[in-house]
Amino acid sequence: MKQVISVILLINLIAVIGCSDDETGGNTPGFDRKAMLEDLADNVIIPAYDTLNKEVITLDEAVNAFVATPDLSNLNAARNAFQVAYHAWQRSSFWEFGPAFDVLLMSSVNSFPADYISIDNNIVTGSYDFNTISGQDEKGFPAVGYLLYGISDTDQGIVDMFTVDGDASNRKDYLKAVALDIRTRVSEVATGWSAAGGDYKSVFINNDGTDVGSSVGLMVNELNKFVERETRDGKIGIPLGKRSQGIPIPAEVEAGYSDLSISLASENLKALYNFYMGIGVSGDKVSFYDYLTTINAQYNGGLLSDAIKLQFERAMKEVGEIPSPYKETVEVNPTPAEEAYTELQKLVVMLKADMPSALGVLITYQDNDGD
């Protein structure tokens, strides 16, 4: 494995050196990278963060309304806001660089599964710190999911935990604190990208080379890392037992209390596809698909751009066909999940080996199998 990675790195390195002329400039013959970055920022990335920002504000407000008046109606309203926001997160979770990296957005809002034992303990003691690393899986969407779905077997039972239970008051405070932490971090990221705020957009667009630290370099690395570790492993593979000698671990699923696992995974994969294609609020604009097509990158006698598109479509189809709830599927009917995992694995190889080498981008994140 290590040797394969080394070879890939070497190939990438050669590729990078081979086109060192345009490492820092914006010129690939026939392709305007800066224009692609502008499209991606305006059409895909910033709208995704803005939507997420809007939805987590709605979630925060719905949580506050529920906490102010804990009843079944407000519980349902909070759950709806949670579902909408959690899906919005799936569309904005794979650009963990710049403003998102600075607030550790991904690990702060979606470290799953929630550490419910620590959450319960935090509620009882009323003492917790969301800025430490041990707090990462005690907050975020997984914690909201646990508190809105997982603390009792019935909806009325959940409402009771916020009304008659001995720790109801602390629990209310905790849920509010979790929602606020999500809201605050997302807001910082949305502001960080906006022209009126941190204007990371300008940095992003002007950083138009392909070297390490360039916007293309960052996106390709993050896309890879995300599809490999989050989409393939976190959402599908780990619950399926891919890290545990085939023994499934239902407790590891994303959104296990709300049973949204597959809905979220599908939303995420579709968003990754749209990002690759450049599909956003203003329709289909320039993105990596067009980039690979323009430079005529080849794959098995055809275009690499089309091969990746096709592989995305296959993976989306298979993931969409996994029965819900996923925490049961992994134990009673794993075959559809196995098929989805296989297609995701093929996608990872294309994104990790073929695409970076065609683009002259160095994959700098590392497998953690070394010492």
Partner 1 sequence: MKLKLLYSLLFVAALFSCDEDEDALPNVEVPATYEFTRDGQSTVSYQGQIDRLDMVAEIKSYLSTGNLGEAIEASKLLNMFANENNAFISAELNASSKQLEDKTFISDVQWFKNLFVGAEEASNSGISASNGQAGLLERGTGFILVNEKGWEFTQFVEKGLMGAVFYNQIYNSYLSDAKTGDDVDNETMVDGKNYTTMEHHWDEAFGYWGVPVDFPNGTPVLSESEDRFWAKYTLGRDALLGVSTTLMNAYLTGRAAIVAQRYEVKNEQKEIIYEAHELVAAATAVHYLNQAMSDLSAADHGNLFHHLSEGYAFVKALQYSPVKKITQAEINEILNTDLGIDGNFWEVKLAGIQKAKATLVATYPSLEAIKDQL
Instruction: Give me the residues that bind partner 1 (CB under 8 A), please.
Output: 13, 96, 101-102, 104, 106-107, 111, 131-134, 136-137, 212-213, 225, 229, 243-244, 362, 364-366, 368-369
| Joined tokens for residue 19 | 């086109």
Nearer to partner 1, 184 or 364 (CB): 364
Q: How far is the CB of 139 from partner 1 (least distance, A)?
A: 11
Pick the closer one to partner 1 by CB: 21 or 371: 371
Cβ atoms within 10 Å of 196's Cβ, excluding its own = 6
- Estimate the crossing angle of helix 261-277 against helix 72-90, to 10 degrees: 30
For residue 117, count other CB atoms closer than 10 A to its CB. 9
**Half-sphere exposure of 194 toward its Cβ, with a 13 Å CA cutoff?**
14
Q: What is d(CA 332, CA 353) in angstroms, rounded to the nearest whole number? A: 34
> Is the Cβ of residue 60 or residue 137 nearer to partner 1 in the bound state?
137
Q: Which is nearer to partner 1, 217 or 280 (CB)?
A: 217
Shortest Cβ distance from residue 140 to partner 1 (Å)? 9
Task: Tell the smallest beta-carbon distance from residue 244 to partner 1 (Å).
Answer: 7
- Report in angstroms how near the CB of residue 217 gets to partner 1 at its nearest: 9
Which CB sits closer to partner 1, 73 or 131? 131
Spatial contact of 160 and 152, defined as CB atoms under 8 Å apart: yes
Q: Measure the CA–CA gap between 2 and 38, rounded to whole angstroms.
A: 36
| Minimum distance, C-beta of residue 220 to partner 1, in the bound complex (Å) | 14
Torsion of CA 273, 348, 291, 25, to 10 degrees: 120
Which of residues 14 and 281 has its CB atom nearest to partner 1 in the complex?
14
- What DSSP line would sit under 307-368, residue for residue? HHHHHHHHHHHHHHTSPSPHHHHHHH--HHHHHHHHHHHHHHHIIIIIHHHHHT----S--T
CB of 10 to partner 1, least distance (A): 9
